[in-house]
A and B are shown apart, each in its own frame.
Chain A
Amino acid sequence: MFDFLTDPAAMGKAIVWFAALCTLGLYTILYRENVVFRFFEHIFLGLATGYAIYATWNDVLRPRWWTPMVAEGRWWWAFALSAGLLFYLIYSKRYSWMSRLIFAVFFGFAAGQAFQFFASTYFPLIRSAINNPVVGVPVPTAINNLLFIVILVSVMTYFFFSFEQRGGVARVSRMGRYLLMFAFGAIFGSTIMARMSLLIGRVFFLLDTWIRQTILGGA
C-alpha cells in the first residue's frame, strides 16, 4: 500500500505538489486574512517546532551529551541534565529563584566572552580602518581611503552624546546623519532585492518545477 514511499519519482512529485500547495496557501494572505492561510501557517509553526526538536536532539544532544555519557562512559554528563532541568524551575513559585542559577551561568559566560569578542572583532576592524593609506597610493585609492575615514568619524560623531554638539562638531554630526541615511538606503535597497530574489525563486518554482515539469510533464 505504501510502496510509493520508496519510489523516487512518485515521492519527487508528491514533494513538489506539497511544496506548491504550501506556497499557494501562504500567498493567499496577499488577498486577505483567511482560513487557508491560517491552516498553512499552523503547519509551518508545527513543522518548524518539530524540526527544532529533531535537530536539537540529533545535532546537539545526541552527539554531544547522550553518546559521550552512555556510549563513551563519561557519566559526569548526567550533571548537565540536572543543570538543564533548573531552567524549568521557572514554572515553580517556590523554587523559581533556582532557575536564576543557570541563567546566571549564561549571563556570566556571555559577559566574559564579550571581552574576547570585542578584542578579536573590533580591534582588527579599528586597525584596518586606520591603516588605509592616503599618501603613496594612486589618487582614486587615496580619495576612497580618505572618504572611508571621513565617513567613519562623521557617523561616530553623530552617535557621540557625551556633551552638547555645537559649531563644527554639530556640522560634522549632521554630515554623519546624512551619510548614515545614505548607508541605510543602500541596506534597504539590498534588503528589497534579497526579498525579491526569494519571491522570484518561489514564482519560478510554481511556474517551472510545478506547472511545467510536474503537471505538464516537461523536461
Chain B
Amino acid sequence: MFRPVQGPAVWGYIIGALVASGVIFFLLTLIPGRFRKPLIALITFLAGLFYALEFFWPTGRDDTNFLTPFIDPAGQMAQVLQAFALGLGVYSLVSVHLRSIARQRSGWGFSVVLFAALFAIAISGLLNAYRPNRYNQNVFNFFFVGGLQALDSTMFSIIAFYIVSAAYRAFRIRSVEATILLSSAFIVMLGQVALGQALTNWLPAEGFGANLRVENIRTWILTRVNSPAVLAVDFGLGMGALATALRLWLSLERGSYFDREL
C-alpha cells in the first residue's frame, strides 16, 4: 500500500491522503467527552512504548531489533511535525503586531519595521535557495550577515555590561559561600587573560612549580573541581527528568494542563 508513486498520479494520492485525514478528523469529532482523556493517555503511552521497547528489547548480533529500522523514520517524522509547530510561535507574534498596527497603538511603526525585516530575510532567503545567483546571494547576505549575525552577537555582548553589575551584587563578600564563589570566579577569569597569566609567568613552565601558574590553577579548577560538581548536578537532573518522563508516559502527571476537562 505504501509504495512511492511517480508522475502526476502522486497528486491524486496526496489529495486522497488529505481526504482520508479529513475522514479521521470527522471520526475524532464524534468521540464522546469521557473517552477523550483515555485516548490521549493511550497515544502518549504507545508513542513512549515505541522508544522504550526499542531500547529494552534484546538485540541481535548486529545490535538491532525489529523496531530499530523505524527509529530514523520516526525521528524524521518528529522533526517534520516540530517544523509545523513553528507556525504557532509565528502566528502569536504576527497576531500581536498586526493588532498593534490595525489599532495604531503606541509604537505601531515598530511593528511595521518588524514585518519589513521578517519578509525581507524570508523572501531573500527563499529566492537565494530557489534561484541561486550573485544578486540573490548578496541580498540575502546583506540581511543575514549584516543584520541578523551582527544583531545577534551584539545583543549577547550587551550582557557583558549587565553581568558586571550582577557580579558586583553577587560578589559582595557577606558569607563563606560568597567568598568561595568570588575566589574561584576571580581565579578562572585571571587565568584566562594575558594580564593574569603574566602575574605568574616567572614560575617554571615544567615541574611542580608549574602547578602554581594561574592558568594551570584555572584549568585544575575547571577540570577537577567544576567537573565532578557539575556531574553531580547532572545526575540529579537526569534522575528528575527520568521520573518526570515516567509520569508523563503513564499519564500520571497532574496540573492545570492535564486536569482540565476535555
A interface list, Cβ under 8 A from B: 2, 5-6, 8, 11, 14-20, 22-23, 26-27, 29-30, 38-58, 60-62, 64-65, 69-70, 72-85, 87-88, 90-91, 95, 97-98, 100-102, 104-119, 121-122, 125-126, 129, 144, 147-149, 151-156, 159, 176-193, 195-196, 198-199, 201-202, 205
Interface pair B86/A192, CB less than 8 Å apart: no
* A-B pairs with beta carbons under 8 Å apart, 30 shown: A19-B145, A19-B146, A19-B150, A42-B113, A45-B93, A47-B143, A53-B122, A54-B122, A73-B5, A75-B4, A78-B18, A78-B21, A105-B81, A108-B43, A109-B50, A111-B52, A125-B234, A148-B227, A151-B225, A159-B236, A177-B177, A182-B229, A183-B184, A183-B225, A183-B226, A184-B184, A185-B181, A189-B184, A189-B192, A195-B157
In chain B, what residue has the closest Cβ to A41?
A: B110
Q: Which of A43, A112, A192, A202 contacts B117, CB < 8 Å? A: A43
Question: Is there an interface contact between A82 and B25, defined as CB atoms closer than 8 Å?
Answer: yes
Q: Which residues of B contact A115 (CB under 8 A)?
A: 51-52, 55-56, 242, 245
Task: Indicate whether A118 sits within 8 Å of B51 (C-beta atoms), given known contacts A19-B145, A186-B226, A202-B154.
Answer: no
CB pair B154–A179 under 8 Å, yes or no, is no
Tell me which of B93, B138, B188 contacts A49 (CB under 8 A): B93
CB closest residue in chain A, given B144: A51
**Chain A CB within 8 A of B205 CB:** no
Main secondary structure of the interface of A (DSSP, over half): helix
Cβ of B64 within 8 Å of any chain A Cβ, yes or no, is no
Q: What residues of A have a CB within 8 angstroms of the CB of B56 in the complex?
A: 115
- B114: CB under 8 A from chain A? yes
Question: Of the candidates B29, B78, B227, which one forms a contact with A109 in the assembled complex, judged by CB atoms under 8 Å apart?
Answer: B78
Which 4 residue pairs of A and B lie closest in terms of their CB atoms, listed nearest first? A108-B47, A112-B51, A84-B84, A46-B117
CA distance A118 to B108 in the complex (A): 48
Q: Across the interface, do B225 and A118 meet the contact criterion of CB distance under 8 Å?
A: no
| Contact present for A192 and B185 (CB under 8 Å) | yes
Q: Which residues of B contact A125 (CB under 8 A)?
A: 231, 234-235
> Min CB distance, B141 to chain A, in Å?
6
Q: Is B153 engaged at the interface, CB distance under 8 Å to the other chain?
A: yes
Contact among A47, A104, A185 with B43 in the assembled complex (CB-CB below 8 Å): A104
Contact residue among B51, B153, B183 (Cβ-Cβ distance under 8 Å from A116): B51
Q: Chain A nearest CB: distance from B152 CB in Å?
A: 8
Nearest chain B CB to A107's CB is how many angstroms away?
5
Q: A47-B147, A125-B231, A192-B189 are in contact. Are A186 and B222 (CB under 8 A)?
A: yes
Q: What's the nearest-Cβ distance from chain B to residue A125, in Å? A: 6
Residues of A within 8 A of B198 (CB): none
A198 touches B44 (CB 8 A): no
Are A51 and B225 neighbours in the complex by a CB distance under 8 Å? no
Contact A104 B228 (CB under 8 A): no
Q: Confirm or deny: B199 has a beta carbon within 8 angstroms of a beta carbon on chain A.
A: no
Given contacts A52-B86, A101-B40, A183-B226, contact A18 B150 (CB under 8 A): yes
The closest CB in chain B to the CB of A19 belongs to B150
B77 at the interface (CB under 8 A from A): yes
State whether A79 touches B17 (Cβ < 8 A).
yes
Partner of A43, one of B77, B114, B225, B230: B114
Residues of chain B within 8 A of A70, CB atoms compared: 10, 14
Please determine whether B222 and A5 come into contact, CB atoms closer than 8 angstroms: no
Please name all residues of chain B whose beta carbon is closer than 8 Å to the beta carbon of A95 when the two chains form the complex: 29
Min CB gap B161→A, angstroms: 6
Q: Which residue of A lies closest to B42 (CB)?
A: A104
- Give the distance in Å from the alpha carbon of A76 to the alpha carbon of B107 in the complex: 46
Taking the nearest CB of chain A, how far is it from the CB of B241, in angstroms?
6
Contact of B139 among A5, A80, A112 (CB under 8 A): A5
Known: A111-B44, A181-B181. A81 touches B249 (CB 8 A): no
CB-contact partner of A182 in B20, B181, B233, under 8 A: B181
